[in-house]
């Protein structure tokens, strides 16, 4: 789990740098930074979404995943946890809940987190997770400067999420197919577009309730249903 531990440290260190920078940034600059981040995240998500080779499969996975997520009330649970963090730590640390939820989704959604963890579990190769760590560290700096300490707390679910995938992969010894990676990337891209809309405050998207779409699309590809 060296890759996941490195990713954890990168997010914590990056967040620390961002919090240090945050002190000298006026509020209007933080707002502009958040808007620019929202646009950039949206472009990344769009590029990922357009990589699909079977858009019908992606749409079906999103639809079924949305129903599952609403039934499980994943977003509601995350929001309650985020609100509890903000209440406990106080406003002086920024909107802790928003930073935690947004950063957790950004760091966990995407092919690099899953494929990198599987690769590390199967053959001990942490190269993908090391590359992801560098990217996440840079993102953490900017996010923490705009949203506060909640970004640093997102390192904990990232460690558990990627670590569990690594452990499962090491036990099962099964690799994910290239087709599954492609469609997983597309589904993740759509979720990231939802995060972008939330960051820009254009429309409230319950992105966490779409998370079941990720295992669903992998399952569909493995079953070769469409």
Whether the CB-CB separation of 145 and 25 falls below 8 Å is answered with: yes
**Which pLDDT score, from 0 to 100, does residue 126 have?**
87
State the Cα–Cα distance between residues 163 and 171, nearest whole angstrom: 12
Residue predicted with more confidence, 73 or 173: 73
Q: What is the mean pLDDT of the chain?
A: 85
Which pLDDT value is given to residue 93?
Answer: 63
Question: Residues 11-38: what's their mean pLDDT?
Answer: 83
- Per-residue pLDDT reduced to its tens digit, 100-119: 888 888 898 877 888 888 88
Q: What pLDDT is recorded for position 42?
A: 87
Asked if residue 155 has pLDDT above 90, the reply is yes
pLDDT at residue 91 is higher than 90: no
Lowest-confidence range among 36-40, 92-96, 162-166, 181-185?
92-96
pLDDT average, residue stretch 10-27 = 86
Predicted confidence at residue 58, as pLDDT, reads 92
- Give residue 192's pLDDT: 87
pLDDT at 10 > cutoff 80: yes
Residue 144 reports pLDDT greater than 60: yes
Contact 22, 149 (CB under 8 A): no
For residue 226, pLDDT over 60 is answered with no
Contacts 24+ apart (CB under 8 A), 122-130: 122/169, 122/170, 122/173, 122/174, 122/175, 126/2, 126/3, 126/6, 128/3, 129/2, 129/3, 129/4, 129/6, 129/7, 129/162, 130/3, 130/6
Q: Please tell me the predicted confidence (pLDDT) of residue 7.
A: 95
Extract the tokens encoding 97: 């809940």
Question: What percentage of residues in the chain have a pLDDT greater than 70?
Answer: 94
Asked if 70 contacts 212 with a C-beta cutoff of 8 angstroms, the reply is no
Instruction: Note the pTM of the prediction, 2 decimals.
Output: 0.78
Stronger pLDDT, 110 or 187, i.e. the higher one: 187
- What does the pLDDT look like over 34-81, one tens digit per residue? 788 888 888 888 988 998 989 999 999 999 999 999 999 988 888 888
């Amino acid at each position: 789990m060296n890759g996941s531990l490195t990713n954890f440290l990168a997010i914590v260190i990056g967040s620390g740098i961002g919090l240090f920078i945050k002190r000298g940034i006026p509020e209007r600059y933080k707002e502009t930074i958040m808007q620019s981040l929202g646009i950039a995240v949206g472009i990344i998500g769009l590029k990922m979404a357009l990589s699909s080779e079977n858009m019908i499969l992606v749409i079906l996975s999103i639809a079924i995943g949305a129903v599952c997520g609403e039934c499980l009330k994943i977003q509601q649970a995350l929001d309650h946890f985020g609100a509890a963090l903000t209440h406990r730590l106080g406003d002086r640390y920024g909107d802790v809940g928003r930073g935690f939820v947004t950063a957790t989704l950004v760091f966990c959604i995407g092919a690099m987190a899953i494929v990198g963890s599987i690769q590390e579990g199967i053959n001990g190769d942490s190269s993908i997770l090391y590359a992801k760590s560098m990217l996440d560290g840079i993102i953490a700096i900017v996010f923490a400067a705009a949203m506060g300490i909640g970004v640093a707390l997102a390192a904990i679910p990232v460690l558990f999420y990627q670590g569990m995938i690594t452990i499962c992969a090491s036990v099962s010894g099964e690799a994910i197919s290239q087709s599954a990676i492609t469609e997983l990337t597309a589904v993740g891209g759509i979720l990231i577009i939802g995060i972008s809309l939330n960051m820009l405050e254009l429309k409230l998207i319950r992105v966490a309730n779409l998370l079941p779409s990720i295992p669903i699309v992998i399952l569909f590809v493995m079953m070769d249903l469409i």
